[in-house]
Amino acid sequence: VQLVESGGGLVQPGGSLRLSCVASEFTLDYHAVEWFRQAPGKERERVSCISSPDDRTLYADSVKGRFTISRDNAKNTVYLQMNSLKPEDTAVYFCATDPAFRLCVTTQRTYDYWGQGTQVTVSS
């Protein structure tokens, strides 16, 4: 199983990016998919999660109203649309999934499958 994130880059404050998480040898639409981020010197942070099959979503308070998670099952891809970006959003963003998880939960848990990450830098 391989997860590949893309879409990161350098953007000015207030700008937007859309991250993608594509899976190979694994069907994302049957499982919860979560986005995390990690900034230098900081702990990994949960960002957003999408459940299966109802696509119920969860967001960290720090991104609510600015980020949107979604799926395209035909493309086996989960997206993270990030708007109104702030310098504090700068981090490496990772997607994760697990064959045992269908629903998003508020408690911490360990995912089996992770992508390699994509860098998001918000700076003027």
pLDDT of 1: 87
pLDDT of 108: 86
DSSP 77: E
pLDDT of 124: 95
pLDDT of 4: 97
d(CA 87, CA 111): 28
pLDDT of 2: 93
Query: Which residues of the chain, if any, have pLDDT below 50?
Result: none
pLDDT digits (tens, 9 = 90+) for 54-81: 999 999 999 999 999 999 999 999 999 9
